[in-house]
Amino acid sequence: MDIYQGIGFVGMVFVVVAYLLLQINKYTIRSLQYQLLNLVGAILLLISLFVHFNLGSFIIEVFWIIITIYGIAVNIKDKKKKKRNTKE
């Protein structure tokens, strides 16, 4: 196994562990920990794909990253909004 396959393997573990923790109710779909595990996992998988390219996998990882970043941004915005509403 070369370094890039190792990076991809670690990324896969992150994504699978995130999904497992979601399914056993340790994380919620909106928890930052869940989203960060997904994001880091997808980035690591994407890095491995630069060397061992597969178009379908590359495209799904790009979308995974974009959607996860969007989810994180929405969660941060919602938390700020709730914090503001609590102060009022």
Please choose, from the candidates 83, 75, 81, the residue with its C-alpha nearest in 3D space to the C-alpha of residue 28.
Answer: 75
pTM score of the predicted model: 0.89
CA distance 32 to 48: 24
Look at the block and give the residue holding tokens 């996998």.
Answer: 57
pLDDT digits (tens, 9 = 90+) for 24-47: 999 999 999 999 999 999 999 999
- Helix, strand, coil shares, percent, the chain, to 5: 85, 0, 15
Instruction: Tell me what percent of the residues of the chain surpass a pLDDT of 90.
Output: 89
Compute the chain's Rg from CA coordinates.
Answer: 15
